[in-house]
């Protein structure tokens, strides 16, 4: 029979003078002690068949005692370092005759037993130094007083100890399969698929086992205890994915990676603590994530960074005992991003650009002659896009572009410009871009700030509608088109047709109403109206106004949905 002790045991003893023996595995007492977790917290009393967690100060040894009362008793001890290597030694010495099961008379007081232990040397059975989960197992141990000494020379650290005299029947740790490796079955730029063989504890013994995956960019872990030491105490576990869905960390906004907010709740951020009476500071953030996924044995981790090495660890956890066993970890580097083809821009010529959703395109502009200024004109056909311009590696411009915008930058002899265009999250982006060193060369027409078309409800008749729109001080050609639509035509359908880059050449001739030139020296008076006639009563029409610049490039105003009166 087995029990563990240390000098701190005195703190747990009742304040009586009645002699006491080293406790043994009395089943009724054992069950009572197991239920009272506070009885073992940060103490050296460990009942037979239970795992405890404890703490070591650096260079301060800790000692446990336990007694095996009968010869030929199976015996096992497992020590799990958490976040630092440990030195530990197991030794044994004979029990005093009065303390053995064969003794007679009154039990020897505990103080005298401990004094004997201190004064007499024991026989060393096993020693280890490192951060592996290590154990000592004997199928037939002699009776005696066993002593476990632990030391951390690197730093203050947590550790776990488990001891039992019934290792065959207890089996608290999940058993590993004959091949405990994690296989990388698929590798992409942002995903890694892992597979592993199930634990026999689940497949054969039918015990409840769940698997927990740990992902980080630093190293593999040898125990779940080491992982949890890196995670913040209030955020150590993640919610398991819903059935049929694999884990998507950086649904962690960026898997493993800095966030602009919630810094206090960041996964892997260890808060400062004054526990144990020593001043400790917050550890640097680690890119470490853990997710428990139930009992499936294939899993895809997504939203990783391209061309980045990640380390993957798998732990089988017995949900009855909450004790775990580590598979052999692995690592993999995600594939590189597909190299972007750089589009060459020619001076004064418009280039059409298509960008996938969340994608990016790179363009290069290398003027052949010296220049003082360079102008980039961008016509975003749908939603806003982000534009960045670098000259010989130096960032000159970074902002969003919507509609038609011009960017004038200072030039430099023999300079080369790299333009990065990034789409938005809503959908694909379409745009036109013009680069030129001739400031007067303007192919896109100028636009007012407000490109809406206004309809006058009071001027609406059964066969006509009157509309107005703003112009500019620059003389441009305006063309207006109409198209009959169903009564259930809505704003969502209209929005899908808002490609400003589609010009009048894409419209049917029958839809054309008229074209006219218009401008005003006073920007406040740059307003024009037009009455569209020949419409049917009670019908809906979609109206479009196109402004055409001197270079032939056109821009469409925002479409307007109008309806004629049904009765007049």
| Average pLDDT score over residue span 400-425 | 87
| Window from 103-107, 387-391, 426-430 with minimum mean pLDDT | 103-107
Count CB neighbours of 399 within 10 A.
11
pLDDT at position 447: 84
Coil/strand/helix, residue 491: helix
DSSP state of 339: P
End-to-end CA distance of the chain: 104
| Average pLDDT score over residue span 27-56 | 60
CATH class label, 343-436: mainly beta
| Window from 68-72, 120-124, 267-271, 444-448 with minimum mean pLDDT | 267-271
Q: What is the mean pLDDT of the chain?
A: 78
Coil/strand/helix, residue 87: strand
**CATH number of the 173-235+286-338 domain:** 2.60.40.10
**CATH number of the 453-563 domain:** 2.60.40.10
Instruction: Give per-residue pLDDT as tens, 86-135.
Output: 988 888 887 666 544 444 445 454 445 555 555 556 788 888 898 888 88
How far out from the chain centre does Cα 93 lie? Answer: 52
Q: Per CATH, which fold does 50-94+123-170 belong to?
A: Jelly Rolls (2.60.120)
pLDDT at position 531: 95
Instruction: Give per-residue pLDDT as tens, 144-161.
Output: 888 888 899 988 888 888
| Average pLDDT score over residue span 162-169 | 81
Rounded CA-CA distance 481/509 in Å is: 9
Q: What is the model's pTM? A: 0.50
Q: Would you kindly state where each structural domain of the chain is located, as residue ranges?
A: 50-94+123-170, 173-235+286-338, 343-436, 453-563
| Average pLDDT score over residue span 5-10 | 38
Coil/strand/helix, residue 211: strand
Strand 342-345 to 360-365 pairing: parallel
Rounded CA-CA distance 44/30 in Å is: 15
pLDDT at position 491: 67
* Residue located via tokens 């740990």: 214
**Residue 326 in this model has a pLDDT that exceeds 80:** yes
What DSSP string describes 5-64? E-GGGGGGS-S--S--PPP---HHHHHHHHH-GGGTTTSS-EETTEEEEEEE-TT--EEE
pLDDT at position 9: 37
- Does residue 446 contact residue 475 with C-beta atoms inside 8 Å? no
| Window from 156-160, 228-232, 485-489 with minimum mean pLDDT | 228-232
**Residue 522 in this model has a pLDDT that exceeds 90:** no
| Average pLDDT score over residue span 452-470 | 94
Asked whether this chain's domains 50-94+123-170 and 343-436 adopt the same fold, the reply is yes
With vertex at residue 268, the alpha carbon angle to CA 294 and CA 202, rounded to the nearest 5 degrees, is 20
């Amino acid at each position: 029979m087995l029990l563990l002790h240390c000098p701190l045991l005195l703190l747990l003893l009742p304040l009586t003078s009645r002699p006491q023996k080293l406790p043994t595995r009395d089943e009724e007492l054992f069950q009572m002690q197991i239920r009272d977790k506070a009885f073992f917290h940060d103490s050296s009393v460990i009942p037979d068949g239970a795992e405890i967690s404890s703490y070591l100060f650096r260079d301060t040894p800790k000692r446990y005692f336990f007694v095996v009362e009968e010869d030929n008793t199976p015996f096992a001890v497992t020590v799990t370092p958490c976040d630092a290597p440990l030195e530990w030694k197991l030794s044994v010495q004979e029990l005093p005759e009065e303390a053995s099961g064969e003794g007679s008379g009154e039990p020897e007081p505990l103080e005298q037993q401990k004094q004997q232990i201190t004064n007499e040397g024991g026989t060393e059975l096993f020693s280890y130094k490192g951060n592996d989960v290590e154990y000592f197992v004997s199928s037939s141990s002699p009776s005696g007083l066993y002593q476990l000494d632990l030391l951390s020379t690197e730093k203050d650290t947590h550790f776990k100890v488990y001891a039992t005299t019934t290792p065959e029947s207890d089996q608290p740790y999940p058993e590993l399969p004959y091949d405990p490796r994690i296989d990388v079955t698929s590798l992409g730029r942002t995903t890694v698929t892992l597979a592993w063989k199930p634990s026999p504890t689940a497949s054969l013994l039918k015990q409840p086992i769940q698997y927990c995956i740990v992902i980080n960019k630093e190293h593999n872990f040898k125990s779940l205890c080491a992982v949890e030491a890196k995670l913040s105490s209030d955020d150590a576990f993640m919610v398991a994915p819903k059935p049929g869905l694999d884990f998507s960390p950086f649904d962690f906004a960026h898997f493993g990676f800095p966030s602009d907010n919630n810094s206090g709740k960041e996964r892997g951020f260890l808060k400062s603590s004054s526990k144990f009476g020593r001043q400790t500071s917050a550890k640097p953030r680690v890119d470490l994530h853990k997710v428990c996924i139930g009992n499936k044995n294939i899993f895809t981790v997504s939203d990783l960074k391209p061309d980045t090495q990640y380390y993957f660890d798998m732990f089988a956890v017995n949900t009855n005992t909450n004790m775990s066993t580590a598979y052999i970890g692995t690592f993999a580097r995600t594939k590189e991003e597909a190299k972007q083809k750089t589009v060459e821009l020619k001076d004064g010529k418009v280039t059409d650009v298509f960008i996938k959703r969340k994608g990016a395109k790179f363009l290069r502009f290398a003027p052949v002659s010296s220049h003082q200024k360079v102008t980039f004109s961008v016509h975003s056909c749908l939603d806003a896009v982000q534009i960045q311009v670098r000259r010989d590696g130096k960032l000159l411009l970074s902002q969003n572009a919507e509609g038609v915008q011009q960017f004038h930058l200072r030039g430099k002899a023999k300079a080369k410009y790299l333009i990065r265009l990034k789409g938005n999250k809503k959908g694909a982006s379409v745009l036109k871009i013009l680069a030129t060193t001739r400031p007067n060369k303007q192919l896109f027409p100028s636009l007012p700030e407000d490109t809406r078309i206004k309809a006058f409800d009071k001027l609406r008749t059964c066969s006509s509608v009157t509309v107005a729109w703003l112009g500019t001080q620059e003389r441009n050609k305006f063309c207006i088109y109409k198209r009959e639509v169903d009564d259930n035509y809505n704003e969502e359908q209209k929005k899908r047709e808002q490609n400003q880059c589609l010009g009048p050449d894409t419209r049917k001739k029958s839809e054309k109403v008229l074209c006219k030139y218009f401008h005003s020296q006073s920007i406040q008076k740059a307003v024009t109206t037009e009455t569209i006639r020949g419409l049917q009563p009670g019908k809906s029409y979609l109206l479009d106004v196109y402004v055409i610049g001197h270079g032939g490039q056109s821009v469409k105003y925002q479409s307007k949905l109008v309806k004629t009166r049904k009765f007049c």
